[in-house]
Each structure stands twice: as structure tokens, then as C-alpha cells.
Homo-oligomer: A and B are copies of this chain.
Amino acid sequence: MITSIEESPLYRIANPRSIAFFGASNNFMRMGSILLSSVEALGYEGAIYPIHPTEKQVLGHKAYRSILDLPEIPDLAIIVLPTAIVCQAMEECGRKGIKHVVVVSGGFKETGAEGAAMQGKLERIADDYGIRFLGPNCLGVANTHLKLNPTPLPTEGPPGFVGLVSQSGSFVTQMFNYLHRHGMGFSTALSVGNGANIDIIECMEYLGACPNTKVIALYIEGITRGRAFMKTARAITPHKPIVALYVGGSEAGKRAGLSHTGSMAGPDEIYDGMFRQSGIIRAQTLTELFDFCLALGTLPRPGGTRVIVQTHSGGPGAAAADSLGRAGLTLPSLSESTIQKLRTIIPKEASTNNPVDRAFAKDLIDDFHKIPDILLQEENADMLLVYFVTPDVFIERGLQNLDLSPETIREEVQKLIIQNVEAFFTLTQKYGKPIIGYTYRSLQEKMVNNLLERGVPIYQGPERAARAMAALLEYHRWRGRH
């Protein structure tokens, strides 16, 4: 294990002060150009040196015919060239004294015997020069905190707390949008591709030491060094959660992984055991992978399994109760003192069973502050799950009989939303109990979106919330024992 983050070979890959770029040109349809334009778009502040045989300038940067001509030794080289000339570029990087490389190009081990031989050659060149590299057949790195994104799609939203190690490049670049819509963002995302030189394990070590990373997500098609993987995971999980999606366990997933990154997958039970024994929380789908990250990255330790459901609609309440039960969580009855406190603010026909169903209420602030405040004081409960459905149209209707202008109504709706979000948010700080929301509406609606931005996890459907809560509990039980 590394003792400081600077020791990791990933350190200068994720935090380069300067980058040489092979394969970018002024032709926008080339992958290299697309990657460089993403780097530009996010505003990376280090030096950029395009290497191009004929162009004088590439996307506004002075271009160099050979890497040997550069005025300095860049921290990182990114290679996006046809397979046949990748080895030559690596050789030139070595001669220049570059120690860190990302090989985006594919056509290696994942394509068969010939490609595997080519990959062997690439590895030997790197070894000869003491180069550490990510790839080939990868998208390398995105470090949002450094404004570094040499991947095809632009990042979205602010820098985040999810550190990703992925055997799929798509799950770096195509997830910027997904994570942002779901209230998250990557701290640093690492795509290992064929993992010829740097594999998943070194990436985990790096993210374990990365201060911006609160939770590590793994996308795995196959692991080669099982023992080292477990050792590294066990060193990390007592202080930082790791969630893993392994797709090689089904026959179909195994074959898909083999033709994608040349990974040799193993039986599902073996991976299950490896994860369990090293405190890694297993996700069954990509959706779960990031659902679990959201809970683990935002919520405090739950005291136990007991959940209160707060709703204003019976069906969503019953669906939540069912989902919680199936996820192994429990719904305690409220104590007499909680019921007494609720009775002063909820209507007579409302239910003080759990789910607490306040039914049709006149004052939003009851939902967003008074009721959850009372429920969070309940000593029989460890977590609170709240149903959110407050479409603008509902608040607007409430204001319509005040005879205001449409403009004023819009402003008032906004003001009310902010006010309620703030009131609700203070509760997440006040009791130290996990508070989770669920909705069937879009996460892009104002109320929910504001809460997500404040770091309150809200899920689409109670089943996703319930499983994330179970994952949170599973992690903290492990952590409590280690």
C-alpha cells in the first residue's frame, strides 16, 4: 500500500501540470480532437502540447512535429493514434523522459492473439523506460477538481465525491450527465481499459488516498490479481466505502467482457465472496452502483434498521413500506409522545401509524419542517424516508386565489420552494440521522433538484431508496467491526 497519494503512479496521471497529446488535429471528427476539445471546454489550466506531423497549430495550441521537440518534459502523454503506431509513440515518450501515459487507442488484447502480442510489446517498451500507463483501450482519467476531462463528452455540474475505477470508458464519459442528474459528480474517474500496466488495484489505492473522494465505485468485468485486490480493499473499506458492479458473473456478461476488454471473468459466487470478505458493497446494476454511492457519500451512520416513512399519499407510503420490508429494514411503531406531538399539527383523519400519512395538508412547511422534525426525535427510529411530490402546479394553485400576477406567482413559488428546502435541510444537520427522499417525478423539478444540490439523497421510487439504505447499513456494520 502507498503511504501518501503522491506515491501512486496515478498521481501525475490525475494531476498533470502539462500534457502532450498524440492524435488531436483540426479535424473535429477524429477521436483525438474530440478529447482535446473536451479538455478545452472544461478549462484545464496546465500546458497542452499537441503532437502532429504536419499541423502548425491544433485547436489553438502550438503543435509539435515530435514529442522530442517539446520545451519541457510533460507530466503526462495521451495517445489517441491508430494501433499500428502506438508503440512508436510510447517509445518516443520514453526517450523524452515522460513517466506517465494514457493509451486511449484500442486494437490490442481485446481483439485476439495478434493484438495481445502488440500489447505485450507496448508493455515491454514502457517497462524499459520506467513508464506507468493507463490502457490501452481506455478513456484514461477525468479529474473534475482539476478541471481535467480528456474524454469525449463534456462534464456536467460541479466537481463531485464519487471516485470511479472502470473497465469501461463509457462509464466515465457517459456518466457525467447521469451523475449530475442524480445529485452527484465524479471526484476522479479512472478508465483502466485492458489494464496492461496499471490495473484496478492501483486505481483503488489512489482513490482510497484521494481527499476529494468520499466513496469508490468499481465497474468490473474481471479481476486478475484476486488476493491483492482483497488486501487493498480491506485496507480502504474501514475508512472509505467501496461499491462494486461485477458483470462477468452471468454467462452472457462473461462473454461480453471478454470481447470488450479481454477480461477473464470468474463465477459469480467467487466474486460475491471476495466482495463480502473485503467489505465491498455489491451492486447488481449500474443504477444501483451509483444509487449506493449517493447514500454512502452523503449520509451519516444509521443507528439500526428502523425507518419511519413520512408520506401524504397512502399508495406511495404502502409501496415504500413494502420495499423497505423486502430490503431487510423495519418500520417501528411511533411512541406515544411522538403521536401526541404529531396530533397537534396533522388533521384528524391522518395516520400516525408508520407510514405516517398526513393526508391533505394546507401548509407546506408542515411537510418540510414540523413533521420531519418531530419524527426525527422519535427514539424508536434510526432513519427517515420522505415521499416528495410537490409539483409547482400545486403550490401555484394555492397562490392563485390570492389574486396575484402570473409573474408574482412564479416568484412566490420559487421563494416558497427555497424556503422549504432550507427548512428541510437544517434537519439533516440537526439530528445526525440519515434522511432520504423518494419521488415518482423528475429529479429535475425545482423542489427535488434543490434538495439534491444541497446533498439530500432523493431516489426515483422507494425501492431504490430502500436498497440504498440497506447498503448504507451494510457498510456501517462492516465498518463497525473493522
Contact = CB atoms under 8 A, between A and B. Distances in A.
Interface of A: 27-29, 31, 34, 37, 83, 106-107, 111, 152-154, 166-171, 174-175, 177-178, 181, 219, 221, 245, 247-253, 255-257, 259-261, 284-287, 309, 313-326, 330-331, 349, 351, 353, 355, 357, 359-360, 362, 389, 391, 393-394, 397-398, 400-401, 440-442, 444, 460-463
A150 to B, nearest CB: 15
A194 B28 CA distance: 63
B31 A322 contact: no
A28 B174 contact: no
A256 B461 contact: no
A246 to B, nearest CB: 8
Contacts of A167: 315
Contacts of A309: 256
A247 B315 CA distance: 9
Nearest to A172: B315
B353 A259 contact: yes
A107 B322 contact: no
A206 B221 CA distance: 49
Contact of A178 (B248, B355, B440): B440
B259 A463 contact: no
A401 B25 CA distance: 12
Contact of A175 (B394, B440, B463): B440
B322 A401 contact: no
A313 B362 contact: no
A247 B168 contact: no
A262 to B, nearest CB: 11
A331 B251 CA distance: 9
A252 B285 contact: no
B461 A286 contact: yes
A4 B170 CA distance: 53
A362 B27 CA distance: 13
A321 B252 CA distance: 5
B319 A247 contact: yes
B461 A315 contact: no
A401 B325 contact: no
Contacts of A398: 28-29
A247 B401 contact: no
Given A177-B391, A318-B253, A359 B325 contact: no
Nearest to A105: B349
Contacts of A31: 360
Contacts of A360: 31
13 contacts: A27-B401, A28-B397, A34-B397, A106-B359, A111-B349, A167-B315, A169-B314, A250-B325, A252-B321, A256-B320, A260-B314, A285-B463, A287-B460
Q: Nearest 9 CB-CB pairs, A to B?
A: A168-B315, A253-B322, A250-B325, A260-B314, A170-B313, A252-B325, A256-B321, A247-B322, A256-B318
A304 to B, nearest CB: 15
Contacts of A253: 318-319, 321-322, 325
Given A169-B314, A248-B322, 19 more contacts: A83-B349, A169-B315, A170-B316, A175-B440, A177-B440, A177-B441, A178-B441, A219-B315, A252-B324, A252-B330, A252-B331, A253-B321, A256-B321, A256-B322, A257-B318, A260-B351, A285-B319, A285-B462, A285-B463
Contact of A326 (B34, B250, B314): B250
Contacts of A314: 168-170, 256, 260-261
B318 A393 contact: no
A256 B317 contact: yes
Contact of A322 (B174, B252, B320, B441): B252
Contacts of A259: 351, 353, 355, 357
A313 B174 contact: yes
A441 B153 CA distance: 12
